[in-house]
Amino acid sequence: MAHRVAVVGAGISGATCAQTLRAHGVTVEIVDRGRAPGGRMASPRLHGRRVDIGAAYFTVKEPGFGTIVDDWTARGLARQWTDTFDVFSADGHERTAGPVRYAAPDGLRSLVRAVLPADARSEVAVSTLAQLDHDAVVLAMPDPHAARLLPDEADWVDYDPVIAVTAGWPQRCWPIVDAAFVNDDAELSFVADDGSRRGDGAAVLVAHTTSALARAHLDDPDAAVRPALAALRRVLGVTDPPEWTHAHRWTYAKPAGTHGADAFRLGTRDGRPVGLCGDSWCPSGAPRVESAWLSGQRLGMALAEHLSATDH
| Tens digit of each residue's pLDDT (9 = 90 or more) over 10-23 | 999 999 999 999 99
What pLDDT was estimated at residue 13?
Answer: 98
Query: How many residues would you count in the chain?
Result: 312
Q: Which CATH superfamily is domain 1-43+109-156+262-312 in?
A: FAD/NAD(P)-binding domain (3.50.50.60)
CA distances to 266, 269, 285 from 9, rounded to whole Å, are 16, 18, 22
DSSP-derived 3-state class of residue 144: helix
pLDDT tens by residue, 38-95: 999 999 999 999 999 999 999 999 999 999 999 999 999 999 999 999 999 999 999 9
pLDDT tens by residue, 274-304: 999 999 999 988 899 999 999 999 999 999 9
- The domain segmentation of the chain, as residue ranges, is 1-43+109-156+262-312, 56-107+160-254
Please enumerate in sequence order all residues whose Cβ is within 8 A of that of 114, keeping only pairs 6 or more positions apart, or say none.
Answer: 72, 75, 77
Rounded to two decimals, what is the model's pTM? 0.95
Give the pLDDT mean for 21-44: 96
Assigned CATH for 56-107+160-254: 3.90.660.10
3-state DSSP: the chain helix, strand, coil percent, rounded to 5?
30, 30, 40
Which of 35, 33, 70 lies closest to 145, judged by CA? 33
Where residue 117 falls among pLDDT bands split at 50, 70, 90?
confident
